[in-house]
């Protein structure tokens, strides 16, 4: 792991995303809540692959598991797998145009969501309807360009290279 300036920005952004994940919202809006943590993990995986790794993704996943009271390891596994794929593809992703990035982000989010679904299924929690289950994937992917520019601005502001 390389030493860079202002490395605290990474955990801080992850914690802010975690807070957005548990912010109270009106009940109708909850199925559409974007997966902020996943977006932030994807960003740091492709922007600073040498400083952000699967271990951090796993750690924030454990926090997410406790915060949302899911089985310990459920989010952790999903984020770890997603982050690994993003790390593998980070060169291609970094230079891709925004639309293409959003598309790949959607695929990564889909992987994450499917892993969550598989684990829920294994322990016997089946959703009553699947139609809304994948809504956050599309919404998060649609928000990707903004999340990307915001986090990139942060990274440049704190000169993390």
Partner 1 sequence: MRLFQPTTGVKIRLIVLLMAGVALLAIDRRYDHLGAARDFIAKGIYPLQLAVQVPSQFVATSAEFVQDQLALMRHADTLKHENLRLRARLQRSQSLENENTRLRTLLRSSARLSQKVQISELLGMDMDPFRQRLRIDKGEGNGVFVGQPVLDAHGVMGQVISTSSDAAHVLLISDPSHVIPVEILRNGLRTVAAGIGRADTLQLRYLPDHSDIKVGDELMSSGLGGRFPSDYPVAVVTEIHKIPGAPFLEVYARPRALLDRAREILLVWDEAATTGEFAAADPG
Shortest distance, CB of residue 132 to partner 1, whole angstroms? 7
Q: Please name which of 36, 50, 120 lies closest in space to residue 79, comparing C-alpha atoms.
A: 36
Window 24-63: contact mask with partner 1 (x via CB under 8 A): x--x--xx-----------------xx--xxx--x--xxx
How many H-runs (helices) and E-runs (strands) does the chain carry?
7, 0
12 binds partner 1 (CB under 8 A): no
Task: Return d(Cα 68, Cα 75) in angstroms, integer.
Answer: 10
Alpha carbon of residue 95 to chain centroid: 19
Cβ closer to partner 1: 79 or 144? 79
CA Rg, the chain, in Å?
15
Number of residues that bind partner 1 (CB under 8 A): 49
Interaction mask 59-98, partner 1, x per CB under 8 A: --xxx--xxxxxxxxx-xx--xx--x--xx-xx-------
Q: In sequence order, which residues have a C-beta less than 8 Å from that of residue 13 and are 6 or more positions away?
A: 40, 44, 151, 154
Residue from 18, 102, 137, 147 that binds partner 1 (CB under 8 A)?
Answer: 18
CB 31 within 8 A of CB 127: no
Q: Phi/psi at 116 (nearest 5 deg)? A: -60, -45
Which residue, 66 or 153, is less far from partner 1 as judged by CB?
Answer: 66
Q: How far is the CB of 150 from partner 1 (least distance, A)?
A: 19
Q: Which residues bind partner 1 (CB under 8 A)?
A: 15, 18-20, 22-24, 27, 30-31, 49-50, 53-55, 58, 61-63, 66-74, 76-77, 80-81, 84, 87-88, 90-91, 119-120, 123-130, 132-133
């Amino acid at each position: 792991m390389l030493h860079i300036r202002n490395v605290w920005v990474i955990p801080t952004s992850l914690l802010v995303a975690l807070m957005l994940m548990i912010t109270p919202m009106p009940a109708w809006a909850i199925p559409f809540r974007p997966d902020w943590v996943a977006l932030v993990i994807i960003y740091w995986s492709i922007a600073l692959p040498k400083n952000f790794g699967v271990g951090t993704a796993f750690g924030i996943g454990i926090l997410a598991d406790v915060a949302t009271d899911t089985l310990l390891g459920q989010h952790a596994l999903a984020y770890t797998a997603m982050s690994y794929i993003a790390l593998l593809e980070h060169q291609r992703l970094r230079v891709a145009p925004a639309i293409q990035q959003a598309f790949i982000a959607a695929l990564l989010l889909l992987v994450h969501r499917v892993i969550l679904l598989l684990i829920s299924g294994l322990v016997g929690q089946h959703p009553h309807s699947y139609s809304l289950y994948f809504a956050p994937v599309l919404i998060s992917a649609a928000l990707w360009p903004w999340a990307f520019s915001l986090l990139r601005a942060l990274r440049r502001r704190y000169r993390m290279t």
